[in-house]
Structure 1
Amino acid sequence: MNTNILMMLSNLDAEEAMFIQNLIKDMNEDQQRNFVMMYQNKRRDTTLILITTIIGFFGFAGIQRFLTDQIGMGILYFFTGGFCFVGTIIDLVNHKSLALEYNQKVAYETLNVMKTWHQ
C-alpha cells in the first residue's frame, strides 16, 4: 500500500487512518487514489463537528447533526435547544465519535460506488 495516499487526507486521526488503510489495502494504487479523492470530498473533519457543536450553545443547536446526515435529530436539536443543552453537551464530549461514525459510513458508501464502477 502506498502510504502517501493517506497523506492526501487532511486531519486524519489514527483510528480513522487505520480504518481507511484496512479498507483500501487490497486496491491497486489508482483505485486507492480514486477512493481517497472521492472520500475526502464527503468526509467530515472532527474540528468542523466540534465548532458546529459549540455553535449550538449560541442558538443554532443541531448543525452537527445535519452535517452527519442525521436530519431528524438535527431538527429535534434545533427546536429543543439541543435538548435544553444536554444533547449538545453530550455531542461536545463525543464529537470525535460522531465524525468517525459518519466517516466510516461514507467510506463504505464510497467503496460500494467504486465496486459498481468496476463491475
Structure 2
Amino acid sequence: MTAHNANPNPLRNQAEVTHPVLVGYLFWILGFVGAHRFYFGKPLTGILWFFTGGLLLVGWIVDAFFIPAMADEANQRYPNGRIDYTVTWVLLTFLGLFGVHRFYMGKIGTGIIYLVSGGLFGIGYAYDVCTLNEQVEELNRFD
C-alpha cells in the first residue's frame, strides 16, 4: 500500500507558498464580496460572489471548507519571484485607488495615473482586482 501524498507536487516546498491559507481566510472574512476568490485567481466566481453576496452567503460559508484547496491550486499555478502576491493584494485592497500596489510592482507611470485619478476613477482598480495575479505572475516570470 502506498502512502497518499497530500501535496500533488512534492518538489514545491513551504518556501514557495505564494498564497498562504491564513491570508485566504482573512480575505474570506470579506468573502461575501468575493475577495478570497479574487485573491486565489478565480475572478469569474469572484464577480459572481460580488454581485450575489457570496451566493446569498451559502457559497461563502461553503468556501470556508475549500480555502485550503484553493490555496494549494494557487500555489501550484503562480510562481514565486521578487514581487510578493500577498503584499500586492493587501496594497491593492487598502490603497489601490492611490496606485500604491502599482508602485510596488514597479509600474511607476500607471501608479502616478492611479494616484491622481483615483485608480482611473475606479475602473482601473476593478481591472486590477480581476487581473492582479496574472500581472504579478508576468513580472515574476521575467525576473
Q: TM-score, normalised by structure 1?
A: 0.55
Superposition RMSD in Å: 2.4
Query: Runs of 5+ in structure 2 lacking a partner?
Result: 1-9, 20-74
Q: Does 1:3 align with 2:42?
A: no
Q: Is the 8 A contact 1:11 1:45 kept in 2?
A: yes
- Number of matched residues? 79
Percent identical: 22
Q: Is the 8 A contact 2:78 2:133 kept in 1?
A: no
Corresponding residue to 2:126 among 89, 112, 115: 89
Cα offset for 1:92? 1.0
Distance (Å, rounded) in 2 between the aligned partners of 1:51 and 1:97: 16
Code of the aligned partner of 2:15: M
Provide the residue aligned with 2:138 in structure 1.
101
Select the structure with the greater relative contact order (CA < 8 A; seq sep ≥ 6). 1
Q: TM-score, normalised by structure 2?
A: 0.47
Runs of 4+ in 1 over 4 A off after TM superposition: none
Distance (Å, rounded) in 2 between the aligned partners of 1:61 and 1:105: 26
Code of the aligned partner of 1:74: G
Query: Runs of 5+ in structure 1 lacking a partner?
Result: 18-39, 107-119
